[in-house]
Structure 1
Amino acid sequence: MTPVQYQKQLRLQEARRLLLSDDADVARIGYAIGYESPSQFSREYRRLFGSPPGRDGQQIRRSLTSQVEG
């Protein structure tokens, strides 16, 4: 992994952490971690994690909620 790839992965992991808040705005998160385009952010996020950021955030929150309730 190159330094640029490593930096991108760290930024996208931070985005995933930010998506856990209930009021997460995907475009705002993309800008906050340094992307100039929401579509580029979404594309690269999906490439790393397998689903678009909005859907992934919802799935993670549901999973965490079910673990807390169960």
Structure 2
Amino acid sequence: MSSSAFHKAFKEITFDSPLQYVKKIRLNKAGYFMSQQSMKAYMAADKIGYESPSQFSREFKRYIGRSPA
């Protein structure tokens, strides 16, 4: 399967590109860490692989609708 065919098939099933899908999974996981495990936002960002807490904060707010703090 070509890369473009994979992306098209993936988007038909998930309604997101592979990158968007992975980002949503990571941000949901960070939300879980912060709400269920009382983890600080910068620690959750680091745990899911973000190097920049400010980038994490922007993307979290864009996806979840509120700041991670």
Normalising by structure 2, what TM-score?
0.73
Task: Spell out structure 1 runs of 4+ moving beyond 3 A.
Answer: none
Structure 2 unmatched ranges of 5 or more: 1-15
The size of the alignment, in residue pairs, is 53
Structure 1 unmatched ranges of 5 or more: 55-70
Is 1:45 the counterpart of 2:45 in the alignment?
no
- What percentage of residue pairs aligned between the two structures are identical? 42
Between Structure 1 and Structure 2, whose CA radius of gyration is higher? 2
Is 1:3 the counterpart of 2:18 in the alignment?
yes
With CA pairs under 8 Å and 6+ residues apart, which has the higher RCO, 1 or 2? 1
Q: CA RMSD in A?
A: 0.8
Is 1:17 the counterpart of 2:17 in the alignment?
no
Normalising by structure 1, what TM-score?
0.72
